[in-house]
A and B are shown apart, each in its own frame.
Chain A
Amino acid sequence: MGTRRIVKYSAIASAVALGLSVVATTTVAAEHGPVAKIDVNNAKAEIGKRLFFDRRLSGDAGISCSDCHSPDHGFGSKEALSPGYPGNGHFRNAPSLVNTAHKKTWMHDGRLGTNLNDVTREMLTEDYIMNMDMRLMQERVKQDSEYLALYKAAGMNEPSNGSIRKLLPIFMKTLTTRNAPVDNGTMSDSAKRGGAIFDGKGGCNQCHTGALYSDGGRHNTGVPENLDIFLDPMNHQAYLAYGIGMGVENIFNTKRDIGAAVQTHEADGSDRGTFMTPQLRGLKYSAPYMHNGMMATLENVVDFYNQGGGADSNKSNLLQPLRLTSSEKSDLVAYLEALSGDALTGDEFVWSKSFPAEYEVIPNWRQVDNRTRAPIKSTH
Chain B
Amino acid sequence: MFKKRKTNPVAVAVALGATLMAGCTSATTSVVKSESSSAHMMVASMESGTLVAASRVSGGQGVNNPPLAALGPVPIPPDNPNTPAKVELGKMLFFEPAVGGDTSTPCSACHEPDQGWAWAEDISRGYPGTVHWRNSQTTVNSAYYPRLFWAGSVPSLEAQAKSAAGGAVAGNAEFDIVEARLALMPEYRKRFNEVFGDEFPLYRNAFRAIAAFERADLVQRDAPIDNYFNGDKDALSEEQKRGMALFNGKANCIECHNGAMATDFDYYNIGVPTLPRWDEDGLAQITYRYEMYAKGSNEEMYKNYKEDPGFYFRDKNVWNKGKFRVPSLRYTMYTAPYMHNGTLMTLEDVVDFYNQGGGNNVFSANKSDLIKPLGLSDEEKEDLVAFLEAFSGDEIEIERPKMPGYAPLFTKAELMMEKK
Contacts and interface: CB of A to CB of B under 8 A. Distances in A.
Contacts of B415: 225, 227, 230-231, 255
Interface in A221-267: 222, 225, 227, 230-234, 236-242, 244-245, 252, 255-256
B185 to A, nearest CB: 8
B175 to A, nearest CB: 8
B176 interface: yes
Contact of A241 (B103, B130, B177, B419): B177
Contacts of B177: 88, 127-128, 237-238, 241
Interface in B279-317: 279-283, 285-290, 292-294, 300-306
A85 interface: yes
A274 to B, nearest CB: 12
Contacts of A359: 282-283, 285-286
B412 A227 contact: yes
Interface string B114-136: 00000000000001111000000
Interface string B100-111: 111110000000
A244 B100 CA distance: 18
Interface stretch (A115-123, A131-139, A208-216, A331-339): A131-139
B180 A244 contact: yes
Interface stretch (B227-235, B245-253, B264-272, B401-409): B401-409
Interface string A9-31: 00000000000000000000000
Interface string B173-212: 1111101110110000000000000011000000000000
Contacts, number: 181
B196 to A, nearest CB: 16
Interface residues of B, number: 60
A58 B169 CA distance: 12
Give the secondary structure class of A's interface.
loop
A55 to B, nearest CB: 9
A140 interface: yes
B293 A138 contact: yes
Contact of B278 (A143, A365, A371, A379): A365
A59 B103 CA distance: 12
A223 B102 CA distance: 31
Interface string A301-326: 00000000001111000000000000
A234 B405 CA distance: 11
Contacts of A358: 282-283
Contact of B420 (A143, A273, A380): A273
Contact of A240 (B169, B180, B416, B420): B180
B172 A131 contact: yes
Given A225-B415, A230-B415, A59 B286 contact: no
A62 B128 contact: yes
A300 interface: no
A135 B306 CA distance: 18
Best-surrounded residue of A88, A136, A312, A313 (most CB of chain B within 10 A): A136
Contact of A143 (B98, B286, B406): B286
Interface of A: 56, 58-62, 85-88, 127-128, 131, 133, 135-136, 138-140, 142-143, 222, 225, 227, 230-234, 236-242, 244-245, 252, 255-256, 273, 311-314, 358-362, 365-366, 369-372, 376, 378-380
Given A59-B127, A60-B104, A252-B199, 18 more contacts: A60-B128, A87-B101, A127-B174, A131-B172, A133-B168, A133-B172, A136-B294, A142-B286, A232-B408, A233-B406, A236-B184, A237-B181, A241-B174, A313-B419, A314-B420, A359-B282, A359-B285, A362-B285
26 contacts: A86-B103, A86-B104, A87-B98, A127-B177, A131-B101, A131-B174, A133-B172, A133-B290, A135-B293, A136-B169, A143-B282, A230-B410, A233-B408, A234-B406, A237-B183, A244-B176, A255-B415, A255-B418, A273-B420, A362-B282, A366-B306, A370-B288, A371-B303, A372-B303, A376-B303, A380-B300
